[in-house]
Chains A and B, each alone.
Chain A
Amino acid sequence: MASIKELARKEELFTGGHRLCAGCAAPIAVRQVLMGAKTPVVAGCATCCLEVSTTPYPYTSWMTSYIHSAFENVAATVTGAEAAYKALKRAGKVKGDFTFIAFGGDGGTYDIGIQALSGALERGHSFTYVCYNNEAYMNTGTQRSGATPLGAWTSTTPAGSVVPGKPNNRKDLTAIVAAHNVPYVAQSTPALWKDLTRKAEKALNTEGPAFLNVLAPCPRGWRFPSDMSIEMAKLAVDTCVWPVYEVIGGEWKLNRKPKEKKPVTEWLKPQGRFRHLFKPENEHLLQAIQERVDQDWQRLLKKCGEEE
């Protein structure tokens, strides 16, 4: 595990000057993930905020090799490159080792890209899939995804008088990936830089498929001031909305247990997308959200063999 000094001296693989919004947590996550690479990187990107904002032709923020082809297929595209690497290495046409990373947003991962992801995991390619999860289709103006939490306003789940925001719970993608029994699966967030850089190093240097689900708060879509992204990610961990854990060879391990589990309203309150939940008539929704978070947390503790 590299110290912060060592990390600071690492070659920058992802440069500034990109067009991502002020306060966007995605580029922070990408930089922290790339710090784990020990060999030249081939990075793939699904169509998403990260993709459009980091490669406005003829510019690129990527000091690595980079490929984008479409929205739902970054896992297939990157594992195709990995297959080429295996064949060309065998034939002696390529020398040295490479690190293959696929980046996708939650839309490109939880929803439209889940088939390609599942297939790539099952085939056992050596690559890391990184989902930077901002909990909606932020690139196109905040439409709901399978990662959007219950009750959240999005442009396709507006908070109306009949339907108050998203009526469904998010899916547990990290557990779905873990069910593939791949060597390494983890959840993290750039707010915990030590946690994320350690997990990235582990994932990127694991033989076989690895998966990182990284919560990346979005000031525009979540409706909070752009200097609060890291704070929002921390609150997600402290309220147990976004627990950080890893699944190594099928063993679940909790990496951080908040000393005092904060009520979920502390995470919801600063976010404009949940504003309507604080109206008196929606109090039951706040309760439902808290109950869901508690249930998920209990289930996770059990999986990780932790005391309540």
Chain B
Amino acid sequence: MAKTAKKVAMTGNSACAEAMRQINPDVVAAYPITPQTAIVEDFSTFVASGKVTTEFVCVDSEHSAMSACIGASAAGARVITATASQGLALMWEMLHIAAALRLPIVMHNVNRALSAPINIHCDHSDSMGARDTGWIQIFSENAQEAYDNTVQAVRIAEDPSVYLPTMVLLDGFIISHAIDRLEILEDKQVKDFVGEIKPPYSLLDPDNPIAVGPFDGLHGYFLEFKKVQNDALESAKKVVLDVAKEYEKISGRSYGLFETYKLDDAEVGIVVLGSTAGTAKTVVDDLRNAGKKVGLLKIRLFRPFPAKELAQALSHLKAIAVLDRSCSFGAQGGPVFLETRAALYGQDGQMPVSNYIYGLGGRDVSKEQILKAYEDLFKAAKTGKANDAPTFLGIRE
């Protein structure tokens, strides 16, 4: 239980690697990339010192990393990997295949901007670019959540009703490199929690040879197959909640599809994900102290998107601002905005929903920027009008 939990100070990357050590996966195939590198390095030391029995495959590229993970997972192994930014982009082809082959691979993506210009700092354009690949995507606010999400991701991915790859997202540098205080579970607690992987099929069953990834022609089963795949991803929502409940019993920490902060009686609210939620919460506190009824909703599960639940949680607000740390070029707003507004569409008394793009390429996110969004919201609540196009917070003009 939480009272016996071990309190440690470590970076987000080390927290992820520590969770991997405790899970002791069968295979890790990975390729280092800033700002994920320390996860692979830490894990390599666990391999070198015999703290894990994992077969570690240090591959030639992220494309090969995901390809080897696919081969290993199809062979019935529990598989974890990690990447970031350009690495995730290079994997893109294989992300779709991992999901469609229904392989429960767990992967950290340490969020970093995509080139050009080359930039190693945090934004969410990498994982947002992978939002339609069929992976489950779970965002983390801090090192504690990155650790907790990793342990839970194994159970979510491997649940028989899901059997899909799962991405644990953490903000590059802000979470990955900052030393944070967190509680980690005992090794045995993690081992018992994740249990053994029980693959329904394996390449390594000579009595039951299987064909993975056959060819589906024009008159095949493609459309039906994609429907089934989408249903499986939808069913992950329930599993995420079930696993969270079970995890709370051993950790004392509760998780949901999203977290609400002072939202129940709020008049206006912000939707955000990742580390910025921490900064935004302090702005909420400041405004609450000044007597303003403001709140916040932090999305944890981005894929599958908890649209109905989110719409219900936001339904009482007079105005909403959605903060996006990536740009969906040429779209009506960022990906979180598009999902949120679509979730709210058609509700009675539709409130104005504004979009703010912030923090691209690791640009510092200040309390002032978030305060501006709340101040706009008070106006929007009165006028009933959202901004016409995304507002870029903190842009130099």
> What residues of chain A have their CB less than 8 Å away from a CB belonging to chain B?
40, 42, 44, 51-52, 55-58, 60, 62-70, 72-73, 75-88, 90-91, 93-94, 96, 98, 115-116, 118-120, 122-123
From the candidates B53, B94, B101, name the one contacting A90 in the complex (CB within 8 A): B53
A55 to B216, CA, bound (A): 8
Whether B210 lies near A83 (C-beta < 8 A) is: no
B contact residues, total (Cβ < 8 Å):
45
Q: Closest CB of chain A to B66's CB: distance in Å? A: 8
A residues within 8 A CB of B73?
80, 84
Q: Closest CB of chain A to B40's CB: distance in Å? A: 15
B residues within 8 A CB of A73?
63-64, 67, 94
Whether B204 lies near A42 (C-beta < 8 A) is: yes
Q: Say yes or no for B76: interface residue by CB 8 A criterion.
A: yes
B residues within 8 A CB of A52?
215
Whether B57 lies near A123 (C-beta < 8 A) is: yes
Whether B206 lies near A65 (C-beta < 8 A) is: yes
A residues within 8 A CB of B70?
67, 69, 77, 80
Q: List 18 A-B contacts (CB under 8 A).
A: A40-B209, A56-B214, A57-B215, A66-B212, A67-B203, A73-B67, A76-B64, A76-B68, A81-B71, A83-B57, A83-B72, A84-B26, A84-B27, A84-B73, A87-B54, A87-B77, A119-B64, A123-B58
A76 to B206, CA, bound (A): 21
A residues within 8 A CB of B330?
none
Residue on A with the closest CB to B26?
A: A87
Residue on B with the closest CB to A122?
A: B60
Given contacts A81-B71, A84-B76, contact A62 B55 (CB under 8 A): no
Q: Say yes or no for B221: interface residue by CB 8 A criterion.
A: yes
B residues within 8 A CB of A40?
206, 209
Whether B55 lies near A84 (C-beta < 8 A) is: yes
Whether B211 lies near A62 (C-beta < 8 A) is: yes
From the candidates A44, A65, A94, A116, name the one contacting B60 in the complex (CB within 8 A): A116
**6 nearest CB pairs, A to B:** A80-B71, A119-B60, A80-B68, A40-B206, A84-B75, A76-B67
A116 to B212, CA, bound (A): 20
**A-contact bits for B307-327, CB 8 A (1 contact / 0 none):** 000000000000000000000
A60 to B211, CA, bound (A): 7
A residues within 8 A CB of B65?
76
Q: Say yes or no for B391: interface residue by CB 8 A criterion.
A: no
Q: Closest CB of chain B to A102's CB: distance in Å? A: 10
Given contacts A56-B215, A67-B203, A68-B214, contact A116 B55 (CB under 8 A): no
